[in-house]
Structure 1
Amino acid sequence: MKSNESIAEFYTRVMIVANQLRRIGETLVDMRVSEKILRSLDSKFDFIVVALEETKDLETMSVEELVGPLQAHE
């Protein structure tokens, strides 16, 4: 994530790449995309990342469900 980038912009950029990978045959589940998003966030989101990892089940959570709390924190 770029330091001046919003969560919405970052989410859009990640989903474009994820969809490109899916089009060429890569098996990419939501959990993997969610993990990539959480690992790539700016350090100002560290607190919310830890809270999400501890309280939510990333295996069943969609990427769209992940973005909501991140935007609220933003």
Structure 2
Amino acid sequence: MKQKYQGSTKVKRAQLQVLRREFEILTVKEGEKVDSYLGRTLSTLNKMKLNGETIEPNTVVIKVLRSLTPKFNYVVCSIEDSNDLSTLSIDELHGSLLVQEQRMQGYHEDDHMLKVAYEDRADKSKGQSAFRGGNGRGRGRQPLGKEIIECFKYHRLGHFRYECPD
């Protein structure tokens, strides 16, 4: 019965070697979230534990820190400097990495919004906008086209209130 449900020792050893190799080559894929990477890592660890392997938590922490993408380099340095890696739990590491990922994601969204706004503005200046004259170059003020100006007093287009003929 024991052999039937647990498998032979040769099979277990072979499975453990495959799982150890899988654990060693685990890295964060480009664009992958921290949650999904840690999920893959913990899944592999659970399979290893089912086959009798015992891995220290600090080994897992060091492995995760080592396999992050270069954009996390400053985070890794910060975690290594501020924590004792031998006592740092996987949950604490997960929380720290999630916070940093959310911060970085927030910055990238802001950068994207600025880029879109800048590109939109650049496209308008290339098309000789009705609001501004000139070729869209430089930082100086371009004169406004009066065809879009509305008189504040009589609400007619083409002039300012102080230029109003009435």
TM-score by length of 1: 0.95
Which of these residues, 55, 67, 71, is aligned with residue 82 of structure 2?
A: 55
Structure 1 gaps, min length 5: none
Q: CA deviation at 1:33?
A: 0.6
Q: Deviations over 1:10-60 (max 9, x none)?
A: 110100011111111111011001111001101100000011011101111
Number of residue pairs matched?
Answer: 74
Which protein shows a greater Rg? Answer: 2
TM-score by length of 2: 0.44
Letter in 2 for 1:39: R
Structure (1 or 2) with the greater helix fraction? 1
Name the residue aligned to 2:48.
21
Letter in 2 for 1:59: S
Structure 2 gaps, min length 5: 1-27, 102-166
Moved over 2 A (4+): none
Letter in 2 for 1:11: L
Q: Which has the higher contact order (CA 8 A, sep 6+)?
A: 1
Name the residue aligned to 2:61.
34
Identical positions, percent: 35
Name the residue aligned to 2:35.
8
